[in-house]
Amino acid sequence: MDITALPGPAVSGRIRTGAHLRCPDPSPHPTLGGASIAFVSAPLWEALTAMAAGLDPAATAADPAGSACDALRLIVAAAEDTADPHEPAGRLYATPSVVELGRRPIWLLRPDGPHGPVTAAFPADL
């Protein structure tokens, strides 16, 4: 698997900081209504790679991107839609805080609306 940096500092005008990378895993996520994650913030990607290396050093050495994607997929399985009853569903999902990621949650945002591409990031990266 290869992960490619996007030109410029943002995926969308609504995402304000940090570099975002194309997610190498095109698989749909049941938690996200079958959507795949299109982009991952660079700080989250680094943390996922470190987390994967701590869990399975040999697998991460052999396939760092695949191991980071596996870790992301496991964490995203616990994500929940944050929409209130009067808001449209599917725009922002959040995971519980993850100890291995510095007790930070992952947010999964569709900055262009509930059917747009999904960006995974720490809240501070959005």
* Contact by Cβ (8 Å): 15, 86: no
- Listed range (36-40, 84-88, 120-124) with the worst mean pLDDT: 84-88
* Contact by Cβ (8 Å): 6, 39: yes
Q: Residue for token digits 């839609």?
A: 81
Average pLDDT estimate for 15-27: 78
pLDDT category of residue 19 using cuts at 50, 70 and 90: confident
Please tell me whether residue 101 adopts helix, strand or coil conformation.
helix
Model pLDDT, residue 18: 59
CB within 8 Å of 106: residues ≥ 6 apart: 44, 72, 75, 76, 79, 94, 95, 98, 120, 121, 122
pLDDT category of residue 7 using cuts at 50, 70 and 90: very low
Q: Where are the domains of the chain?
A: 20-125
pLDDT digits 0-9 by tens, 46-97: 999 999 999 999 999 999 999 999 999 999 999 999 999 998 889 999 999 9
